[in-house]
Chains A and B, each alone.
Chain A
Amino acid sequence: MPSARPLRVIVAKAGLDGHDRGAKVIARALRDAGMEVIYTGLFQAPEQIVQTAIQEDADGVGLSILSGAHMTLFPDVLEQLKAQGAEDIVFFGGGTIPSDDAAELKRLGVREIFTPGAPLSQIIEFVQRECGKRRELVG
């Protein structure tokens, strides 16, 4: 039985990257689709992002990176999720990420990478489906 409580998602910005247009658009779109959304604001360290996700009992974490630091910061967040026993949280992301890097990140455990031009509907559908599954498992 899916719980009546809406899905809760963290939209995060990490490192020194100030490009927040995409993150804000995604945050609004997920909120308008009925989810509870927490936007971390800029310049978060990976451990801060994971702590926020655990404290807020989030179903998913979406990380946005457009500065080219994705091959460092995505693995850092993955590592923190593992270290804090929170691997059930659906970790996905987006930004200016070349396709071979995206493939590598997915191999490492990032659930999905959305690049510029991805339709909002596709992102919403992914988050609802995957976070919904997580909610069913975790309750």
Chain B
Amino acid sequence: MGSTPQGVESGKTLVEGNKETVALAKMIDRASGLGAQPSPEFEEQRTRWERRWASRAARRHEPGSGATDRTISDLPLKPVYGPEDVAHLDLARDLGFPGEFPYTRGIHSGMYRDRLWTMRQFSGFGNAKQTNERYHFLLSQGQTGLSVAFDMPTLMGYDSDARQARGEVGRCGVAIDSMRDMQVLFDGIDLAQITTSMTINGPAAIALAEYVATAESKGIPRAKLGGTLQADILKEYIAQKEWIFPPRPHVRIIVDMMKFCTAEMPRWNTISISGYHIREAGSTAVQELAFTLADGFAYVEAAMKAGMDVDTFAPRLSFFFNSHIDFFEEICKFRAARRIYARRMRDKYGAKNPQSWTLRFHTQTAGCSATAQQPENNIVRVAYEAMAGVLGGTQSLHTNSMDEVLALPTEKNVEIALRTQQVLAYETNVTNVIDPLGGSYFVEALTDEMEKQADDYFKRIEEYGGVIEAIEAGFFQHEIADASYSYQRSLESKDRIIVGVNAFEKEEERQEIDLLKIGEEIERGQARAVQEVRGSRDSAKVETALAVLKRACADETRNVMPPLIDSVNALATEGEIVEAMVGVFGRYRETAIF
């Protein structure tokens, strides 16, 4: 049974067989399945409970009770689960053990007994010098990895002095215009020791080139660099909307990066396929699960189509999920994600290396679950969401700060968020038993249901012809907009309650927490700095490098990474490099729909 990829389908075949086979198969299923043979006494207990449930007098009528029979994503919930809900599951096929296919229970055999998750707080604001100081602070407080947040102009490929950058420089993250800023950002940090995650997508290849050039300028070879680039462009068209080029050339650049890293940067995870932003844009948990994995499989297919062997790149793909406030639904989402991925990677894409089957993921607590009202309550929300991530087996975690719904976080609030993870890791003891919710009737049933619903989405995406075609048809965008509107309406009707927002409000609430403000002088200073870079370099060298880059862009048989590294070393700015590439690829425009 262990090799049957789809439990559901094998069940169907059995039902269609003759009666004897069915009876025999049921016995076998019981023997290897999760649902034990119920005794007559148990059946009596069930009947009594069902009668009481049907005739019960007590019903909640307060706000929020309109949605007690559904998860936050509208998946139906029973009041209680039993062995009948998991009778179709097979222990070996569907659960296994931690570190064993299909990895439902975790990707490592020892999980947090052997190694805690990486506590990785996403951080960046103002200019490179300010952010560098925050990194030194976080590292001194026990953080174990760095995670760079870039500002909007950097994410969209504009220099800080561009007209489009007005008002945006340094606000959402750090402004990086050239390799010189990258050198300041990592000043005094040993890039051979630390791992760095960079959340950047459109210009991801440029950021990677700048990181490599920065390390090499300090004498650290690229082969020693460890970290992750987000570089997941498909979810930009679906949800986050930070694109530059149209989808097809963007995916080609990603494949170039995968090839480059496979050959030259063995410790670097090329791409972090992200559901986080899909969820923040208003999707349900199932949509986050399905769309993210569909994106992941699209990259796998693109790389295989470009001639790469799946086992050369798949072990370094990683994922990034949201941990929202519906506790069990999130845990089930993580478990289902591992199982779907393992099955498809082995059975559909033919990966042979077990490391190609394992879905490793980073988790961030849900920014969209935080409220501007009574912001201190966000500390509590973050703690529950972080625990769901850990019970779901995450490899690294970012806990949001309570003030992020209002502004970039202050140092004090970032510290509370980091302490939340430390309390979880060192005090609660939830780390001591692997997948402690495995075998729960409810958790197993919901995990299975989410896998089935994700499969339904995969079929619908295939009907469009694939992820890019579905993006072009506006499929994902419509699905997400529908889900977010229906969720908003459930808040309006008070079917769902958010504390401090549509119940338990305080009259005349005043913001009493201190907020981090980014001054306009950052923008002026950064604009001056990028102009100084342009004035001080050898411009003939820049022109040559950009011309070579453009030729590589126009020729699919060449890789864009080496000419990108040459361009950043010549101190070409990000905006100049992007303009050169736009000259070949064009710029993406979205049809506005709501």
Could you tell me which residues of chain B, from 467 to 519, have a CB within 8 Å of some CB in chain A? 481, 484-485, 488-489, 491-492, 498, 500-502, 510-511, 515, 518
A82-102 contact mask (Cβ, 8 Å, vs B): 1 or 0: 000000000000001011100
How many Å lie between the Cα of A43 and that of B165 in the bound state? 11
Contact A21 B280 (CB under 8 A): yes
Q: A29 to chain B: which residues have CB within 8 Å?
A: 485, 488
A55 in contact (CB, < 8 A): no
- Complex interface: chain A residues within 8 A of B500 (CB): 117
Do B152 and A67 touch across chains, with their CB atoms under 8 A apart? yes
In the complex, the answer to whether B371 meets A116 with C-beta atoms within 8 Å is yes
CA distance A119 to B167 in the complex (A): 28
Which residue in chain A gives the minimum CB-CB distance to B406? A98
Known: A21-B282, A119-B492. A11 touches B594 (CB 8 A): yes
**B242, A18: Cβ atoms under 8 Å?**
yes
Closest Cβ of chain B to A93, distance in Å, is 14
**Partner of A25 from B156, B171, B484 at Cβ < 8 Å:** B484
- The docked-state distance in angstroms from the alpha carbon of A19 to that of B488 is 16
Measured between beta carbons, the chain B residues less than 8 angstroms from A9 are: none
A98 to B510, CA, bound (A): 11
Closest to B162 in A: A16
Mask of B53-88 contacts with A, CB within 8 angstroms, 1/0 = 000000000000000000000000000000000000
Docked complex Cα distance between A68 and B171 (Å):
6
Contact partner of B166 (CB less than 8 A), chosen from A15, A18, A19, A115, is A15
Cα A113 to Cα B241 with chains together (Å): 24
Residues of chain A within 8 A of B236, CB atoms compared: 18
B406 and A67: CB pair below 8 A? no
User: Is A40 located at the chain interface by the 8 A CB criterion?
Assistant: yes
A48 to B488 Cα, complex, angstroms: 29
- If A39-B594, A68-B407 touch, does A115 touch B372 (CB 8 Å cutoff)? yes
CB-defined contacts of B407 to chain A, threshold 8 Å: 68, 96, 98
List, in ascending order, chain B residues with CB within 8 A of A28's CB: 481, 485, 594
Residue of A nearest to B505 (CB): A117
B158, CB-defined interface residue at 8 Å: yes
Question: Pick the contact of B167 from A18, A71, A99 — CB < 8 Å?
Answer: A71
Which of B168, B372, B515, B594 is close to A15, meaning CB atoms less than 8 Å apart?
B168
Residue from A24, A67, A69, A99 in contact with B510 in the complex, judged by beta carbons closer than 8 Å? A99
Q: Judging by beta carbons under 8 Å apart, are A27 and B484 in contact?
A: no
What mask results when residues 104 to 120 of chain A are scored 1 for a CB within 8 Å of chain B, else 0? 00000000000111011
Task: Give the number of A-B contacts (CB < 8 Å).
Answer: 105
Q: Which residues of A contact B172 (CB under 8 A)?
A: 67-68
| Interface assignment of A51: CB less than 8 Å from any CB of chain B | no
- Contacts A16-B156, A96-B407; A120 near B511 (Cβ below 8 A): no
B337-396 CB contacts (< 8 Å) to partner A: 368, 371-373
Question: Which residues of chain A are near B156, meaning CB under 8 Å?
Answer: 16
Q: Shortest CB–CB separation between residue B481 and chain A, in angstroms? A: 5
Report if A117-B371 is in contact (Cβ < 8 Å); known contacts: A99-B510, A99-B511.
yes
Complex CA–CA separation, A120 to B408 (angstroms) = 26
Chain A contacts with B in 117-135, Cβ cutoff 8 A: 117, 119-121
Question: What size tier do the contact residues of chain A reach?
Answer: 35 or more
Whether, in the assembled complex, A54 has its beta carbon less than 8 Å from a beta carbon of chain B, the answer is no
Q: Are B481 and A120 in contact (CB under 8 A)?
A: no
**Residue A35 interfacial (CB < 8 Å):** no
**Least distance between A58 CB and chain B CB atoms (Å):** 15
Beta-carbon contact of A24 and B373 below 8 Å: no
Considering only residues 3-45 of chain A, those with a C-beta below 8 Å from chain B are 11, 15-21, 23-25, 27-29, 37, 39-43
Q: How far is the CB of A102 from chain B (nearest CB, A)?
A: 10
Cβ-based interface call for B540 (8 A)? no
CA distance A125 to B491 in the complex (A): 17
Q: Given A99-B510, A99-B511, A121-B492, does the pair A67, B592 have CB atoms closer than 8 Å?
A: no
Q: Which residues of B contact A15 (CB under 8 A)?
A: 152, 164, 166-168
Q: Quick one: which of B152, B405, B488 contacts A16, CB cutoff 8 A?
A: B152
- Complex: how many Å from CA A120 to CA B485? 11
Question: Could you say which of B168, B368, B489, B594 has the most chain A C-beta atoms within 10 Å of its C-beta?
Answer: B594
Residue of A nearest to B591 (CB): A41
CB pair A42–B590 under 8 Å, yes or no, is yes
The answer to whether B282 touches A69, judged by C-beta atoms less than 8 angstroms apart, is no
- B493: min CB distance to chain A, Å: 10
C-beta contact mask, B265-303 vs A, less than 8 Å → 1, else 0? 000000000000000111000000000000000000000
Residues from chain B with Cβ under 8 Å of A96 in the complex: 372, 405-407
Q: Which of A17, A25, A98, A119 contacts B502 (CB 8 A)?
A: A119
Most buried by B among A18, A27, A73: A18
Q: Do residues B594 and A69 form an inter-chain contact, with CB atoms below 8 A?
A: no
Residue interface mask B167-194, A partner, CB < 8 A = 1:
1100110000000000000000000000
Question: Which residues of the other chain, A, contact B164 by a CB distance below 8 angstroms?
Answer: 15-16, 43
Q: Give chain A residues whose Cβ lies under 8 Å from the Cβ of B281.
A: 20-21
On whether A98 and B511 interact (CB within 8 A), knowing A24-B481, A28-B485, A68-B172, the answer reads yes
> By the criterion CB–CB under 8 Å, are B153 and A117 in contact?
no
Is B144 an interface position by the 8 A CB rule?
no
Question: Whose C-beta in chain A lies nearest to the C-beta of B165?
Answer: A16
Residue with the highest number of chain A CB atoms closer than 10 Å, among B168, B368, B501 = B168
Closest chain B residue, CB of each to CB of A17: B152
The complex places the Cα of A29 from the Cα of B486 at a distance, in Å, of 11
In angstroms, Cα B236 to Cα A11, docked, is: 21
- Identify the closest chain A residue to B403 (Cβ): A98
Smallest CB gap from A120: residue in B: B492
In this assembly, does B195 line the interface, its C-beta being within 8 Å of a C-beta of chain A?
no
Known: A117-B373, A117-B498. A68 touches B518 (CB 8 A): yes
Q: Is B410's beta carbon under 8 Å from chain A?
A: no
User: Are B484 and A42 neighbours in the complex by a CB distance under 8 Å?
Assistant: no
B167 to A69, Cβ gap below 8 A?
A: yes
Write out, one digit per residue, whether chain B residues 550-594 have a CB within 8 A of any chain A CB (1) or not (0). Answer: 000000000000000000000000000000000000000011111
Tell me, rounded to whole Å, the shortest Cβ–Cβ distance linking A15 to chain B.
6
Shortest CB distance A36–B (Å) = 13
Complex Cα gap A29–B165 (Å): 31
8 further interface pairs, Cβ-Cβ under 8 Å (given A16-B156, A69-B167, A96-B407): A37-B594, A39-B592, A41-B591, A42-B241, A68-B407, A76-B167, A98-B515, A100-B511
Query: What would be 18 A-B contacts, judged by CB atoms less than 8 Å apart?
Result: A16-B155, A16-B168, A17-B152, A19-B241, A20-B281, A21-B282, A21-B368, A28-B485, A29-B488, A37-B594, A39-B592, A41-B590, A42-B241, A68-B168, A98-B407, A117-B500, A119-B492, A119-B502
The 6 residue pairs across chains A and B that have the minimum distance between CB atoms: A72-B167, A41-B592, A18-B241, A68-B171, A69-B167, A16-B152
